[in-house]
Amino acid sequence: MNIMNVDYDGLIPNNVNLNGDPRVKAALEKWHPGYLDWWKDMGPDGFQESLVYLRTAVSVDPKGWAKFDYVKMPDYKWGILLAPQGEERKIPFGAHAGEKAWQEVPGEYRAMLRRLIVIQGDTEPASVEQQRFLGKTAPSLYDMRNLFQVNVEEGRHLWAMVYLLQKYFGADGREEAEALLQRRSGDLDTPRMLGAFNEETPDWLSFFMFTFFTDRDGKMQLEALAQSGFDPLSRTTRFMLTEEAHHMFVGETGVGRTIERTCQEMQKAGIEDPYDINAVRKLGVIDLPTIQKKANLHFSLTLDLFGNEISTNAANAFHAGIKGRYREDKLDDDHKLEASTYPVTRFKDGRIVTEEVPALSALNMRLRDDYVADCQGGVSRWNKVIEKYNIGFQLKLPHVAFHRHIGEFSSIKTDVDGKVVDDSAWEKKKDEVLPSSGDKDYIESLMSPQFEPGKFASWIVPPKVGIDNKPGDFEYVKIA
């Protein structure tokens, strides 16, 4: 079969010749009903019978892989799609650099690989669970469609990881695949594995911030796994990245459109001081300082996902050739890192300092640095919107030590500039740097749905172009 095209004949669309692999096919078909039950229980609340204008992957050709059409979400074609196998791909880094990439799991790295795949897999359904009530308050049908697109694709990403578990990890892989359907975001007894995926996503600004900041962590992790010497993992994650780009687009443009509406309304009303919060809120838009606080929250929660700055696990995974650096194949060094160092920001003797440490143990820090740079690009584009309206305000990423729960800074409190503060100073200032309950209430008060085609809630401007180039009044969701 042609790897570029997807076989839609069976129950599970795929480009991995599932028909020629009866054992895995049977395992996936057994898992399928449980997945659908999970989707019905924990996927978007309501709207399951609505027709949503979604893209479905019909190929893995980067030039044209998606087809748009109206679909009921439970009928979405969740499939198994791997990027084409590169000819003679070599392991790009670590102790095995230059050897042929593995097509089977190397026995000595089995446990490590399984754990990485399970952790990645766990984040995918978690975000669907976090976002399940947002449809009801969608600011437009356009935004509602984007939410559901993100949701069905996160569902597909779960399929992607489950395929790897079922195909390469035998009985314990099947057990893990089952457990991925059992954990629940925010559940006290069986929570999802990572902190940020147990937080609430109660409103649309949170959703946009989440897709901007937290899906971008997903991108960085997938980029690192796309370099893997275990070829099936590399190929799976490479295709996931093409879908992931849309999630970050939803986040960046969502926040950008929110900012634009705020600036427009301030200009119309002749309000020059962005800190005149009461006056700005009277206009039915979200004031810029509150948008900054939301960014502070989501950025800091997401930084925790990178783990400890200095990490033996990360060193081992790199050395083994399992998890690389961001764009490893574009980096110009020995790809072994046994003799080099990397600067790490640490907390030592009551101060935040930068210290050179062995590069192998600093890989989490390095990936986080690449992440911060990637975030900064989007923040700068948001600031361009504010500049256009001549408003004296700039959004800014807080210091990496701010509001952390994992790693070097988890034991201290700092302000947004990274100045260490004591507990009482933190308590006094907290509501100035993180969303207060009043801020949350205000944002929630704006979340009234707008389901008329072409109409948008008060606090957000329409997008510049439609999805699939559709006109402004296109009915992206036909609500049942």
| Residues that bind Fe ion in the complex, under the rule CB under 5 A | 124, 154, 157, 215, 244, 247
Q: Rounded to the nearest whole angstrom, what is the least distance from the CB of residue 123 to Fe ion in the complex?
A: 7
Q: Rounded to the nearest whole angstrom, what is the least distance from the CB of residue 348 to Fe ion in the complex?
A: 36
Q: Name the residue nearer to Fe ion (CB basis): 154 or 287.
A: 154
Q: Name the residue nearer to Fe ion (CB basis): 125 or 407.
A: 125
Can you read off the two tokens belonging to residue 214?
């937290």
H/E stretch holding 371 reads helix 363-388
Q: Rounded to the nearest whole angstrom, what is the least distance from the CB of residue 475 to Fe ion in the complex?
A: 25
Q: Name the residue nearer to Fe ion (CB basis): 176 or 244.
A: 244
Neighbours of 29 (CB within 10 A): 13
Instruction: Select from 424, 436, 428, 399 the least CA-distant residue to 414.
Output: 399
Q: Rounded to the nearest whole angstrom, what is the least distance from the CB of residue 16 to Fe ion in the complex?
A: 19
Q: Rounded to the nearest whole angstrom, what is the least distance from the CB of residue 151 to Fe ion in the complex?
A: 10
Instruction: Select from 263, 254, 284 the least CA-distant residue to 462.
Output: 254
Q: Name the residue nearer to Fe ion (CB basis): 232 or 289.
A: 232
- Integer-rounded Cα Rg, in Å, for the chain is 23
Q: Rounded to the nearest whole angstrom, what is the least distance from the CB of residue 399 to Fe ion in the complex?
A: 26
CA distances in angstroms from 378 to 151, 221, 404, 460, listed in the order given: 22, 18, 22, 18
Q: Name the residue nearer to Fe ion (CB basis): 62 or 438.
A: 62
The Cα 187–Cα 183 span in angstroms is: 8
Give the CA-trace dihedral at 314, 366, 400, 357, to 10 degrees. 80
Which residue is associated with the tokens 């949701």?
151
The Cα 95–Cα 331 span in angstroms is: 17
CA distances in angstroms from 442 to 167, 259, 271, 432, listed in the order given: 48, 16, 19, 15
Can you read off the two tokens belonging to residue 108?
């000595």
The set of residues, in sequence order, having a beta carbon less than 8 Å from that of 464 and lying 6+ positions away, is none
Q: Name the residue nearer to Fe ion (CB basis): 215 or 309.
A: 215
Q: Rounded to the nearest whole angstrom, what is the least distance from the CB of residue 120 to Fe ion in the complex?
A: 8
Q: Name the residue nearer to Fe ion (CB basis): 243 or 265.
A: 243
